[in-house]
Amino acid sequence: MIAPNQREESSEAASATAGVFLAIEGPIGVGKTTLARLLHATWQAELVLEHFDDNPFLPLFYADRQRYAWQTQLHFLIDRFDQWTELRPAATLRVSDYLFDKDRVFAELNLDGVALRRYLKVFHALRSQLRQPTGVIYLHADIDLLLARIAARARPYEQQIERTYIRALADAYERLFTTYDDAPVLALDMTGRELLHNADDQLAVVSAVQSAFAALRSK
């Protein structure tokens, strides 16, 4: 975490980012929640975490994606919408470990035909009712690193994820942020960076985010 002699600077950064709503996004295993928790601890930010463990279809989906894709996606869509609908304008920094648009990323990867067309109608109707983030942090990393982190955290249902699926997911995120223009995007390569225990990496990433926040507040 940030060293004690940096608390004054962190306090100033928190004040400078008041009212900013930041969403962190990227493929499975890239470190979204780890970064969200780090920013929460550093700047006393309001923390919004995805309720992925509440989806009863998720283990079934990874065992049989074709059979359970629709149920899994619909559950996530409604749950994410409900969570973001409850968010109110905040005077402090707010950090979410996901972007609502991630739902569409996964849907386009796992649904097709009539199912995808029906899903997109509902997605766009719900998205239009949500306040979008002030800024987005897009985390990306080498595929081997993503797979290693997925293996290390040892969630049973994730151990069935194939390399081809992670590659397709990473490519889908690249396409999303090639055209995403609802908010400024800070892209960070997490290959070679370790946010759980490496203080130097923590400081470098927090500093990069702080610079991006300053730019947001100056607009």
Return the number of other C-beta atoms located less than 10 Å from residue 70's C-beta: 18
Residue 102 pLDDT > 90 = yes
Does this model's pTM top 0.75? Answer: yes
Q: Which residue has the higher pLDDT, 156 or 38?
A: 38
Give bridge partners of residue 48 from the DSSP assignment: 96
Domain extents in the chain: 19-213
pLDDT by residue (tens digit) across 22-67?
999 999 999 999 999 999 999 999 999 999 888 999 999 988 999 9
Among candidate residues 102, 100, 119, the one with its CA nearest the CA of residue 111? 119
Q: Which residue has the higher pLDDT, 218 or 78?
A: 78
Q: How far is CA 181 from the centre of its chain?
A: 16
Residue 12 pLDDT > 80 = no
pLDDT of residue 15: 53
> Average pLDDT in the 181-190 region?
96
> The domain 19-213: what is its CATH number?
3.40.50.300
DSSP strand pairing (21-25 vs 94-96): parallel
Structure tokens at 36: 């969200």
Among the ranges given (63-72, 91-100, 101-110, 150-159), the one the predictor scored with the smallest mean pLDDT:
150-159
What spatial distance separates the first Cα and last Cα of the chain, rounded to whole Å? 29
Q: How far is CA 132 from the centre of its chain?
A: 13
Residue 21 pLDDT > 70 = yes
